Amino acid sequence: AYGIPGWGNGELQYYTDSQDNVLVDNGLLTITASTQDFAQYGYTSGRVRTMGMGDFQYGIIEVCAQLPSTLGTWPAIWMLPTNSPYGGWPTGGEIDIMEAVGFERDTIHFNIHTQHDNWGTSQSIGSHSTIANIDSEFHAYAILWDAFQIKFYVDGQLEFTYTPAQDSYEYWPFDTEFHLLLNIAVGGAWGGIRGIQQGEWEDSMYIDYVRVYQQK
């Protein structure tokens, strides 16, 4: 839909609407990436996006998830603007509540992208933390987002805070509604830099819940 095959990152998966890739059952949302191919793509995966159905400006956004760990997988819980008044990426902003890559064990990344700071300029702002057993246990990944800053948490523990250096949209486009994306990418500019697991495989991200809290 964006005219960017591989989501601009050189990713190798094709996102399908098959229950092989996205399934809600037994109180869990399961997103699965696998070596099942589709058209010219060597892998399939799933992505859930709440645009037009769950759009939020400020509040606490919390997702409880268990992550894949296969080499080459790149799971993410993140947010994009729904109707950005500032333009497309990266000007409109991006909030990465959680990112992980299969070649790093028990490491969670938190990132912010803006016009001034984004991976295209090699100066995106973020941090990372060691969180044990991310692929075998559920953890709660959350942000507390208000008009002045965004705080990132894992299991209620503050891990990173973003406060803009200047009060301008180049540093703070986060004053408009954003929506959630939950997905597993395969390969790409980050997930694939140390290769992809050989042979046939599949791996999943399990979502126990998504909760949003806002002041009335």
Is the pLDDT score of 4 beyond 80?
A: no
Of 11, 62, 94, 159, the catalytic one is: 94
Of the candidates 118, 75, 130, 114, the one whose C-alpha atom is nearest the C-alpha of residue 97 is 75
Residue showing tokens 């991200």: 205
Higher pLDDT, 212 or 124: 212
pLDDT in tens, 39-60: 888 999 999 999 999 999 999 9
**Using 50, 70 and 90 to split pLDDT, how confident is the model at 205?**
very high
pLDDT in tens, 17-44: 999 999 999 999 999 999 998 888 899 9
Average pLDDT, the chain: 94
Nearby residues of 149 by Cβ (< 8 Å), 6 or more positions away: 161, 162, 163, 164
Mean pLDDT of all residues in 173-195? 96
The reply to whether 200 belongs to the active site is no
What is the pLDDT, as a whole number, of residue 5?
59
Nearby residues of 132 by Cβ (< 8 Å), 6 or more positions away: 106
Mean pLDDT of all residues in 52-71? 97
Report how far apart, in Å, the C-alpha atoms of 160 and of each of 141, 193, 211 are: 12, 25, 20
Structure tokens belonging to residue 212: 């949003």
Of the candidates 16, 180, 186, 206, the one whose C-alpha atom is nearest the C-alpha of residue 96 is 180
pLDDT in tens, 137-151: 999 999 999 999 999
Q: What is the pTM of this model?
A: 0.95
Of 11, 99, 104, 170, the catalytic one is: 99
Nearby residues of 133 by Cβ (< 8 Å), 6 or more positions away: 106
Q: What is the largest CA-CA distance in the chain?
A: 51
Q: Is-contact 43 36, C-beta < 8 A?
A: yes
Residue showing tokens 């805070």: 161
For the chain, the residue count is 216
What is the pLDDT, as a whole number, of residue 119?
80
What is the pLDDT, as a whole number, of residue 10?
86
Residue 142's CB: how many other CB atoms inside 10 A? 25
What is the pLDDT, as a whole number, of residue 24?
97
The reply to whether 94 belongs to the active site is yes
In angstroms, rounded to a whole number, what is the distance separating the alpha carbons of residues 78 and 86?
Answer: 19
In angstroms, rounded to a whole number, what is the distance separating the alpha carbons of residues 31 and 44?
Answer: 11
